[in-house]
Structure formats: structure tokens, C-alpha cells
Structure 1
Amino acid sequence: MEPLDKPYSDLRLAAMAPNTFMGKILKIFGPLLDKLLGINKLRNVYESCQLSGLDKQQFSQKLLDGLGVQVSGVNGVLEKVPQSGRCVVVCNHPYGMIEGVIIAHLLTAFRSDTQVMANVGLQIFKEIKGYFIFANPLKPKAKINTLAIKQCFSHLENDGLLVVFPAGRVSFFQSDKQRITDGDWNRLVIKLAQKTRAPILPVFISGTNSQLFHRMGRIYYRFRLLMLAHEMFKLQAHNINLKTNNLLSIKQLNEFKGIKRMNDFVRLQCYLNDENYFTPWLEDDASMPFKNIIPTADKITIKSELAQLPDEQHLLDFKSFSVYYGYQNQMPLCVQEITRLREITFRTLDEGSGEICDTDKFDATYMHLFIFDHKNEEIIGAYRIGQTDLLQNKGGVSQLYLSQMFNFSAGFINQQQPCLEMGRSFIIAAHQNSFHGLLLLWKGIGAFVCQNPHYRTLYGTVSLSKLYDPRSVALIDEVMVTNKDGVNAKEAFKGKLHPEVKDFISAAPVELNQLSALVMGIEEDSKDIPVLLKQYHKLGAIFHCTGIDVNFNHTPGLLLSVNLPEAPEKLLKLYLGSSKAAYLNYDKS
């Protein structure tokens, strides 16, 4: 399309002046203000780039080129946008104008049914008005806003793609938070999503306006509005990165109580994409390839070892499965097979040692509690359990595996009473989606403590696999750790957290189901928090700190303890069975 001879957009303040007394004053001083506010520069770009009368997509691309704006992360965002159907994209508002053009251009190229709720200030460009549903955030009760809200609902009801900048105005320095960030987000997005059942995609837009912009804004807030045009000319060769994670479903929203908390959740998911607060995992040493795993142990010999175990070490049966416990000197081949299966399982979680099997010196001194499937003649899962009283009698705290990860003071529970140190748990892949694997292990633990009722406390770590995003691990650590008394990590987990996380947590406690929603919003594959973490939480676990297990592929581990007699009645009945009362009434004296 050839540009029109006469400019289609009249980029002068005088042209926008209302027919009032103040409008007449504006027309008189318009030329001077055009120069001071950078509107003359904007008009020069408009004319030199021949933007007049262009199609909206051509116009926006040439405008961005003329301003020298570079945008990255586009493909990552488009991969998450549904190809059809209703959806709301929400973004932070770091620049005030140009991000609306960027998002409108990129999403319209992907979906022609894109509409962006935008500030009336963008009406200055007539060529791109087709992108926008205009609103006036400076006048909340203005009629244009009521009409805009109706248009947004209608657009989603027609299965369109809607973009909203919930802050409604440019990010600014907030003295109470001591940082530059969006103001309060309007809750319209939550209302739109709830009424139309539309998923929400939070997109973080990197960067901010100049220091001068923010300094002037601190003097008088309206200076920010007056400087927006000038700020666009400071983006020459500036890279604006777009980053998103996952669509947020209505189910995830409903994990949070009240529209304000839902709104804060969506905002947090947006800011969690800020790469200034992202520290990737250290790369594994590629020069150390995984070794071939040892062959499967002889099944006849394994069954022979099981048959020779004392009757009390055969804890329970369920269908074709039996739960046993034993020690390496009683059943060396069974323990060897457990170490083989551990290595196979842990490698799938990026936790494998890379050796021929997963073993260390503690396998010889710890008890092994495991499930044997008689039908398929195989071990399907196990726990390695340290009896702290027996172990420390042989050489003090150094006999405990977790003493390699944590410094235990005299005040920590494992120095106060006999405990069971739980670790190295696994269920083989074929049984990970079945209910009986983890249940049988815990019934086995219940049977063991009923035989040995002086063990009242379990403690151990939940491995937070490096398949998790570091931001997820940092969130889990921040939310779950509540009692650091008596212990600290020898190598602490040092994850970055966006200040918005602190704001979110300080506003209200985060429940476990809400933590799940947060983590699922971050994870590329939408995975939930570890099943074992949920299991311990149900038992009433106290979480102490997160350390790095340098002997387990530098995997983060969340240390916890469970006072078993205080676990919920329902779970005690499930795991301890008919021996529950005797266990609870055990007299330690």
C-alpha cells in the first residue's frame, strides 16, 4: 500500500486538544510542548519511515524498526499461546507505550483475532487503532472504560485472544518497596477469566525506562506521562525480552481464596519470568559419562536370602507383594540389587551417580526396607533407613549419612532421642503411577516402628531434583522451611527469588496446594511438587533447611522431621494398623 500524501495520524498536541478553554490554551502552546515532550521527534519518525496510512502490521513493524527496538523471546511466547480459543495474555508495563505495540504486532501475526486493551494515548496512531480496545486508566469512572470492559467480555465469549496490561499505567519507583515495579494490578483479568473460563498466560516484558524518567516521576507523578514519548527514543538498539512459562487454568486460580489473592498469584507468575532473578543449575561434568549399570542380581539367590531372614523382618504382605527389612550382612545380593535399581531410577531424575550402581559406605550400616514382588520376582521399591542410636554408638554423628550435608547441633532431634534417618527412597518406573508402591513402603515403616516403638521421630530429606527449575526449588525452600533451629546446611542452596515472592508470602500464608499451583505455573512440563514432599507434609512434617548433597550429583535436599505420634489419626491408623494404640501408649521410661 502506498503511503498517503497527507499524514493519516496528526501527531500534534493541538490536533488532540478538546474544544474547551483549556483546549484553546493547549493549541497556543502546542508547538512548544510538542518539542519539549518529544512529539516532534515522533512525528519525524512517522514521516521518515513513511508510516502514513499503512496497514497496522506494516505500521507497527516499521515503527519498531524506526525506533531501533529489538525484541527477543518471541518464539517462546508463541509456543504457549493457544492457536485458537479464548485466552487472556497479561503483561507487566515497564515502558508505558511501546510494549503495547510490540505485543499487538507479534500476537496478531500469530492470531488475527488478537485485541489489546490499551491506554487511550495510543489513539494518537490512527493506523493501528484496529489492534486496541481503548480505556482511560486515569479516569476509572469514564464511560470509555465501561464500554471497554464490555468489549473485552464479548471478545472472549467469541473465543478471541485478549491482551491486558493490568497495571493500567507505566511501572514506577515505589518507595515502600524500594524498587521499580508495576502499581497495583486491576482485578479485571480475574473477573474475565472466571466468567468466560479463559486460561491466562502471564508474559514478562524486560527492562524499564530511564533513571531520569523515574527521578522526575518521584518529584511529580504526572511527569511520567509527559516523558513517555521521549522514552521511546532511548530504546535504540535496546533488546526487550519476552518470557513466559505456562498457561494458568481456572483450577489453578481456584486454589487461592478471593479475587485479590488470585490476582496476586497471576501477577507473581508474571514477575517470576524476570531473568534477572534466575540462576541456572551448574552444568554437570560432561567429561564423566555414565558407566554401564551392573547386571540384574540372580533371582534364585535373592529369594534364598529372603527365605533366611528372621520372621519379624518379613513385615507384611499384600497380594503378590511382601515388605521386608534387612542389613547388608544378612542379604548382600538383595542390597546389591537395590543399589542397581536406585541408580536406574535416579538417573531418570538427573540424580544418578553415574557409577555402575548407587552405593556408598552407608549401605553396609543402614537398614534396607523394601518391597518384593513375588509374581515377577523383583524388588520394586525401597528406603534406606539409619537407626541413629545404633549408628552413633559406633562412632558419633559422622556415622549418619546426612551429617555430610548438615551440621547437627546438640539441640537437633537426632541428638536428643533415637530417630530413623530416612533416605534413598525409590519406586521403579513400572510402579510409580500405582497407589501400592509408596503405600506399602509406609505400611512397612509403620510395622517396623511398632516392633521398635522407641523410634518416635523420622527425619530425612526430600530430594528436589535438578529437573525442577531453580525458581521452583527456591519457592519450595522459601514456603516450606519454618524451623531452622539446631541445624544448618554445609553447602546451602542459594536460589534467587524475585521480591514479588516476598510480597506474596508476606501478604498471606501459602498452603501446600497453592505452592503446587505456583510450581506448576513455572515448570516447563507443568510438573507438581514431589509426591514425597506431599506425603511428609500430610504427616505433619517440620521443614528445617535446604542443603546441597555433594555426594548425590549436587542435588538439593529439603531436610524435615516428623514426630510420628502426632501425625494425623487417619494416617496412623492406615500405616500402623491394629498396633496403633500400643505404639502411641509406649512408655519410653
Structure 2
Amino acid sequence: MDLLSASSFPYPSFLGRRSQELLRPMLDQLARVRELELLYKQSAHLQGREFIGSLLRSLGITIEYDAAELRQLARTGSFVAVGNHPCGLVDGLVLLYVLTEVRPDFRIVANEALAPLLPQLSNHLILVNPERAKAGRNVPGVRRLLHYLHNEVPIGLFPAGEVASRPRPFQAAAEAQWHPTAGRLLSVARVPVVPVWLSGHNSETFSLLGLMHPWLRTARLPAELLNKRGQTIRVRVGRPIMPRELAQIAAPEGLAYVRARVFALGASPSPGSTEAATAPVPVVAETDAALVEADINALRPTRCLVRTGSWEVYIASKAELPHVLREIGRLRELTFRREGEGTQQPLDLDGYDDYYRHLFLYDRATRRIVGAYRIGRGRTILRHHGRRGFYLHSLFRMAKALEPFLAESLELGRSFVRAEYQKQPQPLALLWKGIAEYLSRHPEYRYLIGPVSISNRFSTVSRAVMVNFLTAHYFRADLACLVKPRKQFRYRPLDATEIPATLQTGLTTVQDLHKLIATFEPGGAGIPVLLRHYLKQNAHLLGFNLDPNFSNTLDGFIVLDARELPERTLHLLERYPVPVGE
């Protein structure tokens, strides 16, 4: 008996029996029914996940996903996996294949019109009629869906109810509006919601047929499975949205929020996918430790700002630190490349290093430079170089009216802690103790300014959400009006409804922002550590600039008032002693 036959193909209700007979040969060809039948026969003896795996291998379809993301899913209990619907049959097959790896009991909501095409998956389908051609036809399916959830069976659904298509000629394919019923279902079920994003798109033929009549688009869906031959389909599985989180958002906004979380996954790069536009030049070899130590031993005693145990913080000029500065330039490049940034040159040194001061942490025990900051003294820079002398001027246009503020500012930049020490809290605290000590010696400076980096490893949507949130909660309007980015950061969402404001629903704190970014960034990366550190010190921002010369890093213009440091920071800095009598 045929696994798939033209007689089993779903015809629209407006076609009579005679019309169906006449159209059958044409529709067979449109849907490529015979090719599918031959393909299915190769796997006819298999069921469930094994059937899907065999089918995908026959088509040469590769699924790319991160096993670590699957480990976020509960091994028991129910959840609803919610996905976008770019292609049709292959979306359901891929979703089933990936999620049944960890939950063999996983079921998917499917269009009843396509059920005859997949008899081997009958135990994994919950059939509904998303077109609602007949009133009440969905009720049994919805009841069964809730029945499964209440019995701790996880299910998956595509709330659009139809495959992404072109709304008009010459427009890109777009996901249809999600059915409000899906939002009400998620509210009633009160189970975790797992956002899932799938890559892909259908053929031009599919799009053109859809513009002629929606049913022709549906009729073409079986053939679109064959068109995916040899393709790679990316799957992102986001962190579950807990019922209590969704309960805080009204039903219509809740569904929009879930949809935004789904498409945010699609905007995130795969782990390791960020590459430099040109091949990086190898970083220079490590500087001889004896030469570095000789530079430090030759410094005047007043250059030491902090000393505790084997760790010492110094500040000095380029002329005093020829070998130390070479090592700092080497470590900058190594550290920034690890974060998807960097100049891609052998050393990260530039003309600003010639007249900026260099504050660095040295470990006597290991004879290593541990971390560093570059510090520009505002009054001195304005006197000798004007506004152009600030590194920030290369990123932002700064009005002349900003000069009084700049004169009271120290510009910090090119900060790093070498990889081996990044998990220790002391290096950053000691560097900041050094900055605090330098400020106490130079009371003419009140503000700390500089660029804070958001690396290109973050997706565009993550960066857009950060920019939106920080602009809304941490902008200093009186100064921001005097600053303009040289290259504006722009965000073009994958989905028209997926806007940063939607994703920010319910966000009130930096910790909320951190958790949100971690939900759709590969590896669970939240907001950058240094940005989070600055915000904890009551910092503000004046703008954001995209830097094409530094791996398209997004730089925020950060401002910190030394007189407004929180008490907890002041107490922390008091722990580390300052050299006495030097």
C-alpha cells in the first residue's frame, strides 16, 4: 500500500469531486507526490525519531544545534516549545528530531491536513485545524493538548499556524501573526515555555503560488521538503520562560514577548562564528620578564599607587616603560581577540599611548603584568592637543561646550585583565584602588570617562536591547546632547514585531537585563563584565558608536562621577593599602 497517494491529499472544500479528479495530475506534480512516496519507502519500516533521522539523511539535511542548550530542558514534567515556522514540513520534523533527543515523549501540534503525509509519526502528533475552516473543529485538539500537558507530556507548536510567506510581491517572506489562542493557551497551561528558532526559507515557486491562492501554497508544502536537500538547518533552543515570568505580562503582550524571544535566538551568532574580516597577524612573542622587571625597578617610588602582598599597582609614562608598554600592547591584543575584538595587529598600541599614562598591576611572584588601564589627563590633553587629543574623539563628535567637563575628567581605556586572572576578583579591585589613589593625588579631576565595549560576539538584538535599556535608564541627557557618534549603531530585526522594547517587557534592573541577554546568547553570556561593573558604580552613558577599526565593537561613552561612588565600593577599596612614605 502506498505511504502517500494523491487520493489522500487534502483538497479545499470549494473543489467538488469532479474538479478534484481533473486537477489531481497537476497537483501531484505540484506537490511532487511520487518523489515523496519513493523517499518515504526507504524509511517505511521505521517509526518516530528513527524515521525522521533516516528521512533527513536521505535528503542530506544537516541539523546544527548546541547540545548544551538542550541540557536546559527538564527531563520530567511538561513544557511548551514555541517555534517560528519558516519552511513547513521540515520545521516539524527538525523540531521533533532535536527535542526527542532529550524528551522521547515530546509531541508536536500539526495541521491535520498534512497528517496523511506522516503516518510514521502519528504517536508524536496532536492534530488541529489552524485554518478553522469549520467552527469548533479545533476544540478536541486543544483539549487533548491540555490533557498531555496536565499529564507531564511536553508539546511543541507553531503559533503562526501557517508557513512564513510573502505578504505582497517583491517583499521578503515574513512570519504570519501568531494566533491569540496560543497566548491564552500558554496562560492557562502555566508550564515553562521554551523558545525555539529554526533557520530556512522556501522556494520562489512557493512564494508565487501563495500570492495566487493560500491553498496552492499549502499544496506545495510537500515539495518544499524535497527542496531542502543538502541544506543545513540551524536550531537555537532558548532558556525556558517560567510561568511566573509570563504571568506578570498581559496575554496579548505575553505572546508578543514570547515571539520576540524566539526571533532573538535567530539574531544570535553560533558559538565561534564571529571571525575577523581579515586574517589576524600573529601576536608578538612575550616580552622578556627580566626587561619588564628592570623597567619597574627603575621607576621612582611615587609611581607605585598600591602594594599588597606580591601585587603592585604603578602609573607611569611611555618613556619610563619601554618594555612594560610592549608587554601591555601584547596582552591587550591577546585579551581583546578572545572577546571577538582586537586590532588584529601584532600589538595593540597607538599614538594615544605616547602621551597617556599607563596604570598597571604587576605580580612580583610570577613576574607578570596582570592587567592595565590607559589614562588620559583631561586638562593636559586639552592644553596640548585640544578635543582631538582624546581617544573618545575618534569615536564621538564632542561639542566645544563639553570642554569644561573634559577638563575635569580622566579618560580611561584599553582596560584588560589577562586570561589567567579573570576569574579572580582582586585584579580589577586593585586596578580600581590604583585609580582611586591617583584621583586622591589629583583633586583637579572629578570624572572618569571612556569607552566601554560591547563586543561583536553579542548578537545585534542583544546589543540593541542593551542600548535601549541603558538609554532609558542610564543616560545623562545634559551631556549626551553634546556628543554624537561617528557611526550610528542601527538594528534591523529579523521579525517586524521583534523590537527591543518588546524584549524589555518587565525589565527594571541591570540584573534583569543580564539575565535576559543570557537567555538568547550562545553559552549564556550576559552583559559584559566591565559594563556591569561600571553601572554598579553609578555610571551614566552619553551615547553609543560602532567602531569598524576594532572588529565592529559597539562602544558606549561612559561617565562616572568619583564623588558618587557607592559606599560598598569605597569600603572595598579601603581594604588595599597604599604605600606609605613614598
Alignment TM-score, normalising by the size of structure 2: 0.75
2:578 corresponds in structure 1 to none
CA displacement at 1:423 relative to structure 2:
0.3
Give the alignment partner of residue 30 of structure 1, picking from 6, 13, 17: 17
- The match for 2:285 is 292
Show the 5 A alignment for 1:370-409: 370-409=360-399
Identify the residue that residue 76 of structure 1 maps to in structure 2: 65
Match status 1:131 vs 2:131: no
Q: Which amino acid aligns with 1:74?
A: I
State yes or no: 1:431 paired with 2:430. no
- Cα contact 1:412–1:486 (8 A) shared by 2: yes
Equivalents in 2 of 1:80, 1:346: separation in Å? Answer: 26
Alpha carbons 2:268, 2:459 under 8 Å: kept: no
Specify whether residues 328 and 102 from structure 1 end up closer, same or farther in structure 2 by C-alpha distance, changes over 3 A only: closer
Taking the TM superposition and a 5 Å limit, the aligned residue runs for 1:141-180 are: 142-156=139-153, 162-171=155-164, 180=174
Q: Is the 8 A contact 1:136 1:145 kept in 2?
A: no
The equivalent position to 2:439 in structure 1, one of 449, 472, 478, is 449
Query: What's the TM-score, normalizing by structure 1?
Result: 0.74
**Counterpart in the other structure of 1:546:** 545
Q: Secondary structure at the match of 2:400?
A: coil
SS in 2 for 1:74: strand
Relative distance call for 1:420 and 1:257 in structure 2 (3 A) is farther
Matched, 1:94 2:90: no
Q: Once the 2 structures are TM-superposed, how far is the Cα of residue 390 of structure 1 from its aligned partner? A: 0.7
Is residue 2:298 matched to residue 1:305? yes
Structure 2: 5+ residue stretches without partners: 576-582
TM superposition shift of 1:492: 5.1
C-alpha distance in 2 between matches for 1:463 and 1:49: 55
CA contact (8 A) 1:464 1:530 kept: yes
Quote how far apart the aligned CAs of 1:202 are: 0.9
Which position in structure 2 is the counterpart of 1:529? 527
Cα offset for 1:171?
4.0
Shift in CA distance, 111/382, structure 1 to aligned 2, threshold 3 Å: same
SS at match of 1:294: coil
Q: Per the alignment, in what secondary structure is the counterpart of residue 430 of structure 1?
A: helix
**1:370 to 1:130, Cα distance in 2 relative to 1, 3 A:** same
Give secondary structure in 2 for the equivalent of 1:292: coil
Q: What residue is the counterpart of 2:196 in the other structure?
A: 202
| Correspondences of 1:366-515 after superposition (within 5 Å) | 366-412=356-402, 417-469=407-459, 472-473=462-463, 475-477=465-467, 479-481=469-471, 485-491=481-487, 496-500=492-496, 503-505=499-501, 508=504, 512-515=510-513
Q: Which amino acid in structure 2 is aligned with residue 366 of structure 1?
A: Y
Determine the C-alpha separation between the residues in 2 that align with 1:316 and 1:524: 38
Q: How far apart are residue 410 of structure 1 and its match?
A: 2.3
Cα 1:270/1:566, change in 2 over 3 Å:
farther
Percentage identity across paired residues of the two chains: 21
- SS of residue in 2 equivalent to 1:393: helix
Q: For residues 368 and 40 of structure 2, what CA distance do their matches in structure 1 show? A: 72
Check the 8 A contact 1:91/1:205 in 2, yes or no: no
Task: State whether structure 2 residue 3 is matched by structure 1 residue 11.
Answer: no
Once the two structures are TM-superposed, the CA of residue 274 in structure 1 deviates from its matched residue by 4.7
1:93·1:99 contact (CA, 8 Å) conserved in 2?
yes
Q: Give the drift of 1:248.
A: 1.1
Letter in structure 1 aligned against 2:427: G
SS of the equivalent of 1:528 reads coil
Q: Separation in 2 of the partners of 1:256 and 1:531?
A: 30
Q: From the superposition, tell whether residues 152 and 39 of structure 1 become closer, same or farther in structure 2 (CA, over 3 Å).
A: farther
Alignment-derived partner of residue 580 in structure 2:
none
Deviation, 1:316, is 3.9
SS, match of residue 85 in structure 1: coil
State how far apart, in whole Å, the 1-side matches of 2:21 and 2:199 are. Answer: 28
What's the offset of the Cα at 1:383?
A: 1.0
Matched, 1:122 2:114: yes
1:520 match: 518
Give the letter aligned to residue 454 of structure 1.
E
Task: State the number of aligned residues.
Answer: 543
* Secondary structure class of the residue paired with 1:166: coil
- Deviation track 1:525-580 (CA, whole Å, cap 9, x = no partner) reads 33222101112222232140122162xx43514132324157464356447769xx
Q: Which secondary structure state, in structure 1, belongs to the residue aligned with residue 397 of structure 2?
A: strand
Question: Which residue pairs with 1:584 in the alignment?
Answer: none
What CA RMSD, in Å, does the superposition of the two structures yield over aligned residues? 4.7
Match of 1:220 in 2: none
Distance 1:415 1:108, change over 3 A: closer
Unpaired segments of 5 or more residues in structure 1? 17-25, 217-222, 579-589
1:105 shift after superposition? 6.0
Contact 1:305 1:334 in 2 (8 A): no
What does the per-residue CA deviation read over 1:131-166, in whole Å, with 9 as the maximum and x for residues that have no partner?
A: 30223443497133122222134353xxx6x43223
CA contact (8 A) 1:255 1:517 kept: no
With over 3 angstroms needed to count, the CA separation of the structure-2 counterparts of 1:542 and 1:62, relative to structure 1, is: closer
| CA deviation string 1:231-267 (max 9, x = no partner) | 5446663567532234414579959953756654543
Aligned residue type for 1:534: R
How far the C-alpha of 1:208 sits from its partner, in A, is: 5.0
Structure 1 residues 422 and 73: alpha-carbon distance in aligned structure 2, compared to 1, 3 A threshold: farther
Whole-angstrom CA distance in 2 between matches of 1:375 and 1:256: 54
